[in-house]
Amino acid sequence: MLTAYCFGRATRAERETVETHLLECRACWSETQRLLGAIRILETDPSMPGTLTPSDLAHTFGISGRLARAFGGHMMHVLLCSVIYAALYGVAVLVEVAYQFDKYGETGMAMAAVAFVWIFFTTPAGLWADWRLTRQGSSKGWAASAGILLGAAAALFAIVSPYLPSGPVTELNWQAYTAQAAYLKAISYFMILQSIFLLPPFHFVLAMQRELKEGRHRLALGLLTGDKLSVAPRGSVYPRFWVLSMLIFITAGISVFLHHNLMGNLRPSPYMNLFANLVQARLILYFLLATVCLVWYYRMLNELKRECLMAESPRIANRSSERR
C-alpha cells in the first residue's frame, strides 16, 4: 500500500493502516521518505518538462525502463540461476559414478567440469535470446529459450554419455539404472525444474516490462490484480505465484519420499557416504534454484505493480494535464 499512500491514492482505511504501521516499522518509514522525496521533486521542480506524462515518469522510476539493459536488467538473477543450474548437471555426473569412484572418478570429474561449463554458458544464451526477441516485440522469446535449453541438455547428454559406464554403478537392493540411463533421468528432472520455475516467470516479467514500456499500464494492472477480462501478453502465460509456491511444496514432498526410499536401499560400500552426500547436494541445488526463481519472481511482480500504480496515479496525472 506504500506506493498508493505516497501518491495519495490510498483510501481512508488504507491510509490509517499505513500510518499506524509507519510508527513501528523502520523499513517502511525509510521507503516512504524516499518515495515522498522523489514525488516532491517531481511536483515542484520547474525544470521538469510540463509534457511529462504519468507513464513517462513510471518508465523513469519503474521496471520497464530497465528492459533495454542486458537481460532486461536481470543480469544478476540470470547469473545466479545459471551457476546453480550448471552445478546441478555437474553434481549429477558425479552421483552416477560415485559408487565406483576409484574406477570412474577421474573421468567423472572431467565430465562434471564439462557439464558445468557447457550449461553455465548455454543457459544465459537461452535467456538472452528470450530477452532480445521479447524486447523487439516478438512473441517467440519463450519458445526460443526453451528450445535452446532443451537443445543444450540433449547435446550435453550426447557428449557425456559415452564416458559414463554403460552398466549399473550404484548398488541398490533392486536393479539400479545404468549410469547413462540414470543421468538421462536426472536431466529430465532438471528440464521439468527449469520449464516451471526458471523460464515462464522470466519470460512473463520481460513481456510485462515491454507492455509497460508501451504504456499499457491499466491493462497490466488488471492482469496482475486478477481482473477476469485481462489477458497475458501474446506468447506468454501469467504463472500465478501461489501455483508456483504450491508446486514447490508438492515437488519437495515427492523428493523427500524418493530420497528416503533411495537411502534406505543402498548397499554398503566404501563410497556410500560420498554417494549420499552428492545426492543430498543435488537435492539442495534443485530446491535452491526453485527458491531463487520464486523469490525473484515475487519481487518483480511487486515492481511491476508498483510501476502500474505510479502510472495510474491521479496526482501526477492531474499535474501534467494542468501544465499542458
Min. distance of Cβ 82 from Zn ion in angstroms? 33
Residues that bind Zn ion (CB under 5 A): 25, 28
Q: How many CA atoms, within 13 angstroms, populate the side-chain half-sphere of residue 184?
A: 12
Closest residue to Zn ion: CB criterion: 25
Measured N-to-C along each axis, helices 217-224 and 54-61 cross at an angle, to the nearest 10 degrees, of 60
The CB density around residue 212, as the number of other CB atoms within 10 Å, is 26
Choose between 25 and 113: whose C-beta lies nearer to Zn ion: 25
For residues 41, 46, 47, 49, the Cα torsion angle rounded to the nearest 10 degrees is 100
Min. distance of Cβ 72 from Zn ion in angstroms? 28
Min. distance of Cβ 32 from Zn ion in angstroms? 10
The CB density around residue 38, as the number of other CB atoms within 10 Å, is 15
The CB density around residue 192, as the number of other CB atoms within 10 Å, is 12
Choose between 19 and 227: whose C-beta lies nearer to Zn ion: 19
For residues 39, 43, 49, 54, the Cα torsion angle rounded to the nearest 10 degrees is 50
**Helix spans in 269-312 (H):** 272-311
Length of the chain: 324
Min. distance of Cβ 21 from Zn ion in angstroms? 6
Min. distance of Cβ 302 from Zn ion in angstroms? 13
CA distance 189 to 195: 10
Choose between 25 and 159: whose C-beta lies nearer to Zn ion: 25
Choose between 20 and 60: whose C-beta lies nearer to Zn ion: 20
Min. distance of Cβ 36 from Zn ion in angstroms? 15
CA distance 272 to 278: 10
Choose between 32 and 64: whose C-beta lies nearer to Zn ion: 32
Backbone φ and ψ of 226, nearest 5°: 85, 25
The CB density around residue 151, as the number of other CB atoms within 10 Å, is 12
Choose between 33 and 139: whose C-beta lies nearer to Zn ion: 33
Choose between 26 and 324: whose C-beta lies nearer to Zn ion: 26
Min. distance of Cβ 78 from Zn ion in angstroms? 30
The CB density around residue 106, as the number of other CB atoms within 10 Å, is 11
Choose between 25 and 117: whose C-beta lies nearer to Zn ion: 25
Min. distance of Cβ 29 from Zn ion in angstroms? 8
CA distance 318 to 29: 26
Q: Smallest Cα–Cα separation from 96: which of 108, 85, 86, 88?
A: 108
